[in-house]
Amino acid sequence: MLDAHACMVPRDPRIAAIADALRRYLESHPNASDSLEGVMRWWLASERVEAPQAMVRSALAHLVEDEVVEVRVLSDGTRVYLAGARARFSRP
């Protein structure tokens, strides 16, 4: 399970729900990494969540701030999202 220690909850409940879905996805796919478009297409779709790009971007920004998600910028400027320092997963 992802470590929720010291994580702040977004004020907008819709963004909080998106952030929760992203946490669940990373819990199941700890090695995932994707662009914003990939996050929307694969991560959220697998969690059966549809959301506007702006809200997904806000949820990701919140998770980056909480160090649950890390963002890396590729040489072409593409931002790639992956599990961050506070994303700890339980192993069976």
Spans of all domains in the chain: 13-83
pLDDT value of position 9: 61
Average predicted confidence (pLDDT) for the chain: 86
Q: What is the arithmetic mean of pLDDT over 22-44? A: 94
Of the candidates 55, 45, 53, 54, the one whose C-alpha atom is nearest the C-alpha of residue 18 is 55
Q: Is the pLDDT of residue 33 over 70?
A: yes
> pLDDT confidence of 36, banded at 50, 70, 90?
very high
Model confidence band, residue 47 (pLDDT cutoffs 50, 70, 90): confident
Residue 77, phi-psi category: left (phi > 0), alpha (psi -120 to 50), beta (remainder): left
Instruction: Spell out the CATH class of 13-83.
Output: mainly alpha
